[in-house]
Amino acid sequence: MALRITEECINCDVCEPQCPNTAIYMGDEIYEIDPMKCTECIGHFDEPQCIVVCPVECIIPDENHPEDEQALHAKYLALTATKAV
């Protein structure tokens, strides 16, 4: 399932540059994660890099976007696909 950032976010700026899919962005008050781009780093890393670096542990599974590992991998493939010329 995609991840989300909770209200405990302190806007420390460490998670955004770690996301290989550029799914993390600054929202109105805290950082947010675009569920259409979040693959929990499947295809890039063994574990979600935003969770690894978050000092306040405010990144959790987004229950509104349930996806299994196969669906996350398919999303990774779609996000990283290159078009043939």
Residue-wise pLDDT for 35-58, tens only, equals 999 999 999 999 999 999 999 999
> Whole-angstrom Cα distance, residue 70 to residue 12?
32
Q: Where are the domains of the chain?
A: 3-80
Q: Is the model's pLDDT at 72 over the cut of 70?
A: yes
Q: What is the pLDDT of residue 34?
A: 97
Q: Which residues of 46-66 are buried (b: 16+ CB within 10 A; e: fewer)?
A: eebbbbeebeeebbeebeeee
For domain 3-80, give the CATH number: 3.30.70.20
* Look-up of token digits 């669906």: 71
Q: What is the pLDDT of residue 85?
A: 47
